[in-house]
Structure 1
Amino acid sequence: MRELLARQLGDHIETARSVEALLPLVCDIGELLCRTFAQGGRLYTFGNGGSAADAQHLAAEMVGRYKRDRRPLPAVALTVDPSVVTCVANDYSYDDVFARQVSALARSGDVVAGFTTSGRSPNIVRGLAAARDARATTVLFAAGGGGDALQYADYAVLVPSLTTPRTQEMHQLILHLLSEWVDAWAAGEVDESGNVIQAVTG
């Protein structure tokens, strides 16, 4: 078992190194989020299972804070209202639980982010499609080729991994990188493009 765990750790480290190639895209999304919040837009997130936890995590970092004391930012995880989720799932279909909410809430100028390790979850695909219809900007967090969801993504963060655990670990790393960017911007340390305004201390 110890050897198995060591292999898992080694796989994690190797995958994390490969994420460096995604940094330019992560910076683009960081700039997008800052611009969205600066212009009064909102962030909506969703996912299933562990990816739902990642979606909620990202929204929480925006509304609360990452590391700095700064103003709250408008972000909503569409996974957290059981009455809405079960209502839509029961009256329509589980495939529609995010699309219905996105259609009700998202507008042009907002960002809608879907988390899925496979890119094939029908409710994620439909949620991003609804965001495209609403003229919101879409961000896909997935792996490999992005699956069916890729066609509805304005930005696609695709982890180079074939396993769910490594993909979700990298999604969490990336959402922390995004949180660092947005946190610094909201605290007045950098501008929307990431240029330093004041020296970071601590």
Structure 2
Amino acid sequence: MTDWMTDQLTDHVETARAMGARLSSVRQVGKVLIEAFADGGTLFTFGNGGSAADAQHFTGELVGHYRRDRKPLPAVTLSTDPTSMTCIANDYDYSDVFARQVDALAGPGDVVAAFTTSGRSPNVVSALQVARRNGATTILFGGGDGGPAREHADYLLLSPSTRTPRIQEMHTLMLHMLSEMLDAWAAGDEAGREDEA
């Protein structure tokens, strides 16, 4: 590998190592999602670009399965509906594309999870604000200090980095950890369940 590749690998490993301090937050969010699903709530996810892919990845693990044969969990990625996205962007503004969907769909008992590397995207910030106003629980998958989006998040899952590649790599790590927790719970896998003590 050339030196820049070695630097990227070293940066990834150091960022992943720093995730140890974030594990309690990941566990807490897992428990929040388990409680929401147990009570009949739905998870709504969204993001822009690579963060939209992460949001869709998380939903896919929940509606499909992670490692176990179990019931599908109710999760929807808002950025996968091009008709609604383009209609809202055209008729209103691009900053409204997630907020209007959240306003229509999410309420008390539901969970809204935003994926963003900067925490500054107006469409992400406004959607979290509307979700909270509607009584939904809000989660921010972000990076650094979370940016303005953190003000509207009940739970923060922040990558310990300000670099987009590292932030997205840690988002994938966290969504896989959560997928394992939720998968075990939904399958009734006692050996895989998170210790509640």
What range describes the TM-score normalised by the shorter chain of this pair? Answer: over 0.9
1:161 match: 161
State how far apart, in whole Å, the 1-side matches of 2:190 and 2:90 are.
46
Question: Counterpart amino acid of 1:173?
Answer: L
- Distance (whole Å) between structure 2 residues aligned to residue 63 and residue 158 of structure 1: 24
Over residues 133-175 of structure 1, what are the superposed CA-to-partner deviations in whole Å (9 max), with x where a residue is unaligned? 1100000010111111011000011111110000000000000
Q: Distance in 2 between matches of 1:173 and 1:163?
A: 16
Residue 200 of structure 1 corresponds to none
CA distance in 2, matches of 1:50, 1:190: 34
Structure 1 residue identity aligned to 2:151: Q
SS of corresponding position for 1:113: strand
Distance 1:9 1:182, change over 3 A: same
Structure 1, unpaired ranges of 5+: 197-202
- The CA RMSD measured in Å over matched residues stands at 1.3
Name the amino acid aligned to 2:106. A
- For residue 145 of structure 1, give the secondary structure of its aligned residue in structure 2: coil
* Corresponding residue SS for 1:79: helix
1:187 CA displacement: 0.7
The answer to whether 1:39 aligns with 2:39 is yes
Amino acid at match of 1:165: P
Q: Which amino acid aligns with 1:179?
A: S
The residue correspondences of 1:133-144 to structure 2 (distance < 5 A) are 133-144=133-144
| Bigger Cα displacement from structure 2, 105-114 vs 1-10 | 1-10
CA separation in 2, counterparts of 1:60 and 1:160?
25
Q: SS at 1:125's partner residue?
A: helix
Give the TM-score, by structure 1 length. 0.94
Q: SS where residue 174 of structure 1 aligns?
A: helix
Deviations 1:59-86 (A, max 9, x none): 1111000111100000000000100000
Quote how far apart the aligned CAs of 1:195 are.
3.3
Q: Offset of 1:89 from its aligned partner? A: 0.3
Deviation at 1:7, TM superposition (A): 0.6
Corresponding position of 2:7: 7
Structure 2 unaligned segments of length 5 or more: list them: none
Q: How do 1:1-202 residues align onto structure 2 when only pairs under 5 Å count?
A: 2-190=2-190, 194-195=194-195
Q: TM-score, normalising length from structure 2? A: 0.96
The alignment-based identity, stated in percent, is 59
Q: CA deviation at 1:36?
A: 0.6
What residue identity is the alignment partner of 2:67?
Answer: K
Give 3-state SS (helix, strand or coil) of 2:76's partner. Answer: strand
Question: How many angstroms apart in 1 are the aligned matches of 2:16 and 2:142?
Answer: 15
Between Structure 1 and Structure 2, the one with more helix by share is 2
1: distance between equivalents of 2:127 and 2:58? Answer: 17
How far is the alpha carbon of 1:52 from its aligned partner? 0.2
Secondary structure of the corresponding residue to residue 79 of structure 2? coil
Give SS of 2:80's match: coil
